[in-house]
Amino acid sequence: MTPLTREYLLSRGKCCHNGCMNCPYKENKMKRYLVFAYNKYCPVGGWDDFKKCFDTLEEVERFQLQLSHYHYVEIIDTQDPDNF
């Protein structure tokens, strides 16, 4: 996965508070878990399916309750080299 560019993030006009690696709005570190969600009939693909990122699995589990309307939820552990 390629991180969002600084230029793209600047074009959004504000910080999304997801800990983006290249965030130009404040000094961030990337959070450990990235959550992607999509429906089987309409996956957009890539970063368009990105929902939010978290530091702990407990936070992810709480957030997943809000994603019950999606068919698929994928959680990427950025510290697991098998994900890349």
Residue 79 is predicted with a pLDDT of: 86
- In tens digits, what is the pLDDT along the chain, a chain of 84 residues? 677 888 888 888 778 878 787 887 765 567 889 999 999 887 777 788 999 999 999 999 999 999 999 999 999 998 888 876
- The type of residue at 60 is V
Residue 72 is predicted with a pLDDT of: 93
Closest CA to 77 of 47, 18, 34, 46: 34
Indicate the pTM of the whole model: 0.63
Domain map (residue ranges) of the chain: 1-30, 31-84
Residue 6 is predicted with a pLDDT of: 82
